[in-house]
Amino acid sequence: GAGVSQTPSNKVTEKGKYVELRCDPISGHTALYWYRQSLGQGPEFLIYFQGTGAADDSGLPNDRFFAVRPEGSVSTLKIQRTERGDSAVYLCASSLTAGVTEAFFGQGTRLTVV
């Protein structure tokens, strides 16, 4: 597709369950970023991939959060033992190269933990 695609668009899960959120970046973009946006707040950085490797995961809140990008394209954000505080919109972005080039964002996955 032409833009960054995120699936599902909405996800409701029970507390304690495991969830996976998927991001399809723009074709050819080597850099991929995950952000989390809580209601009424700006997005907060979680993790950044350059190719297949996580170049910066300093924003992951704890070890329940993990992300992979095994083939350097699609990325999956994984959350174990979900908590109600994990409820937020999870945004994915990609850019052509690493560095401060323009990042294109997807529409996000709204995660609700009940």
Partner 1 sequence: AQKVTQAQTEISVVEKEDVTLDCVYETRDTTYYLFWYKQPPSGELVFLIRRNSFDEQNEISGRYSWNFQKSTSSFNFTITASQVVDSAVYFCALSEAKGGSEKLVFGKGTKLTVNP
Q: Residue numbers of the site for partner 1 (CB under 8 A)?
A: 3, 31, 33, 35, 40-45, 48, 50, 55-56, 58-59, 89, 91, 93, 95, 98-108
Q: How far is the CB of 81 from partner 1 (least distance, A)?
A: 26
Beta carbon nearer to partner 1, 3 or 16: 3
**Parallel, antiparallel, or unpaired: how do β-strands 109-113 and 104-105 relate?**
unpaired
Beta carbon nearer to partner 1, 80 or 107: 107
Residue 108, both tokens: 């996000």
d(CA 83, CA 81): 7
Beta carbon nearer to partner 1, 98 or 114: 98
CA angle 87, 90, 94 (to 5 degrees): 170
Q: How far is the CB of 74 from partner 1 (least distance, A)?
A: 19
